């Protein structure tokens, strides 16, 4: 599978910046993102898709990297108005991205649906990871 790297040339407006440090943060930031999706005029199914996708990503950050940072942005990408969520952690990084992105792969208690599952729920999925430095995942949902 070809991995899309993160392009940093997108013009966007920052809607919020949050830290994921506890389980409660997962819930509150997830709710914030649902509200952003709602405010952006997304329907209930798309709201649920992006909320579920970020939940998977937050859980990865919390379980594997001990937490991280989340940026919520709004911007224009390829002529689409997009809600953009970026998850940045300084955890151990992912050694084999291709393997981590394949269905059924897991390193811990999970069933391995985290990354590929989240990818299927959004319109764009970008990931960058370096061993011992961390992982950044950016997802976008068209409004």
Partner 1 sequence: MHDKLAIQLQSQILEEIAKTRAKGVLIDISVLEMVDSFIGRMLSGMASMAAIMDTSVVIVGMQPAVAITLVELGLEMPGVDTALNMEKGMEMLERRLNTRKQDFQ
Query: Could you list the residues that contact partner 1 (CB under 8 A)?
Result: 23-24, 26-27, 30, 34, 44-45, 47-49, 51-52, 55-56, 59, 103, 109-111, 113-114, 116-118, 120-121
- CA 58, chain centre distance (Å): 7
Show the DSSP H helices in the chain as ranges.
23-39, 44-65, 97-100, 114-121
Taking each helix axis from N to C terminus, what angle separates 23-39 and 44-65, rounded to the nearest 10 degrees? 150
By CB atoms closer than 10 A (0-12, 13-18, 19+), residue 105 is middle
CA distance linking residue 4 with residue 29, whole number of Å = 25
Choice between 47 and 128, CB closer to partner 1: 47
Residue 109 C-beta: closest distance to partner 1, Å: 8
Name the residue nearer to partner 1 (CB basis): 68 or 114. Answer: 114
Nearer to partner 1, 67 or 114 (CB): 114
**Least Å from the CB of residue 113 to partner 1:** 5
Nearest-approach distance from CB 9 to partner 1, in angstroms:
29
Q: Which is nearer to partner 1, 30 or 138 (CB)?
A: 30
CA 102 to chain centre: 16
Cα→Cα distances 110→46, 101, 120, Å: 24, 14, 17
- Supply the minimum distance, in Å, between the C-beta of residue 79 and partner 1: 24
């Amino acid at each position: 599978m070809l991995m899309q790297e993160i392009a940093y040339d997108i013009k966007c407006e920052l809607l919020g910046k949050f830290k994921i440090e506890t389980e409660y943060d997962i819930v509150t930031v997830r709710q914030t993102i649902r509200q952003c999706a709602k405010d952006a005029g997304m329907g209930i199914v798309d709201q649920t898709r992006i909320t579920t996708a970020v939940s998977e990503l937050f859980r990865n950050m919390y379980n594997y990297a001990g937490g991280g940072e989340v940026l919520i942005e709004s911007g224009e990408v390829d002529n689409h108005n997009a809600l953009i969520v970026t998850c940045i952690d300084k955890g151990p990084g992912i050694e084999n991205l291709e393997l981590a992105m394949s269905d059924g792969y897991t390193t811990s208690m999970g069933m391995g649906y985290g990354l590929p599952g989240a990818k299927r729920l959004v319109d764009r999925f970008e990931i960058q990871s370096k061993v011992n430095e961390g992982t950044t995942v950016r997802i976008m949902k068209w409004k």
